[in-house]
């Protein structure tokens, strides 16, 4: 029984970590004045999806089969976010001027294009995605998001896919 409670607590902690990540993203935007680029917004979406899945797993507290399903879904959500963050890091590593000029705002793109085309266009990156406005310990924000998503993904897999002891 204690192990089941541990899984619930662990999923709740994963949810809280996602809340902290999103709170800092909003702080960076609203207080520090760092406007998010389209790839930043997609990374936020990945963190939101991860947070919702962690919250559902904590609230439902499923048995072994359900926990495995949540583990796989959480792992996939973290992987998707890591791919977007990795693409962002790669764009930032390119020499200035080698990435296409700044594209249109994400809201405008969603108004004039189908969602699949918007996703493809955003993932190609733009000049604004290559700009580094903020660093901590020499790493840009997409690097930190990549690290956080990797940590949360590993946590989710370990927590929800491991065999619980029957003690």
Q: Where are the domains of the chain?
A: 2-161
Percentages of the chain per state (helix, strand, coil), in multiples of 5? 75, 0, 25
Strand partners, 135: 140
Mean pLDDT value across residues 96-118: 68
Mean pLDDT computed over every residue of the chain = 83
pLDDT of 13 > 70? The answer is: yes
SS3 37: coil
Beta bridge partners of 140: 135
Please state which of the ranges 3-17, 47-61, 90-104, 142-156 shows the lowest mean pLDDT. Answer: 90-104
- Out of 3-12, 56-65, 92-101, 130-139, the most confident range is 56-65
In CATH, what number does 2-161 get? 1.20.1550.10
Higher pLDDT, 95 or 167: 95
- Give the model confidence (pLDDT) of 126-160 as tens digits: 556 767 777 778 888 889 999 999 999 999 999 99
Quick check: 115 pLDDT over 90?
no
- Mention every residue, 6+ apart, whose C-beta is less than 8 A from residue 20: none
Q: Which residues contact 68 (CB under 8 A, 6 or more apart)?
A: 160, 161
Tell me how far apart the alpha carbons of residues 157 and 70 are, in angstroms, rounded to a whole number.
Answer: 9
């Amino acid at each position: 029984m204690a192990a089941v409670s541990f899984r619930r607590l662990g999923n709740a902690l994963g949810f809280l970590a996602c809340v902290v990540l999103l709170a800092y993203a909003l702080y960076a935007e609203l207080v520090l004045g760092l406007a998010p680029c389209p790839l930043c917004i997609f990374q936020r979406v990945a963190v939101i999806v991860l947070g919702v899945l962690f919250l559902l797993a904590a609230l439902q507290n499923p048995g072994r089969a359900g926990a495995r399903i949540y583990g796989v879904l959480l792992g996939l959500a973290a992987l998707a976010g890591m791919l977007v963050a990795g693409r962002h890091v790669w764009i930032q590593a390119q020499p200035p001027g080698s990435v296409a000029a700044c594209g249109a705002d994400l809201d405008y793109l969603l108004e004039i294009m189908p969602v699949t085309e918007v996703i493809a266009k955003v993932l190609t990156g733009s000049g604004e995605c290559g700009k580094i406005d903020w660093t901590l310990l020499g790493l840009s924000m997409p690097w930190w998001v990549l690290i956080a998503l990797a940590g949360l993904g590993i946590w989710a897999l370990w927590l929800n896919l491991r065999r619980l002891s029957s003690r």
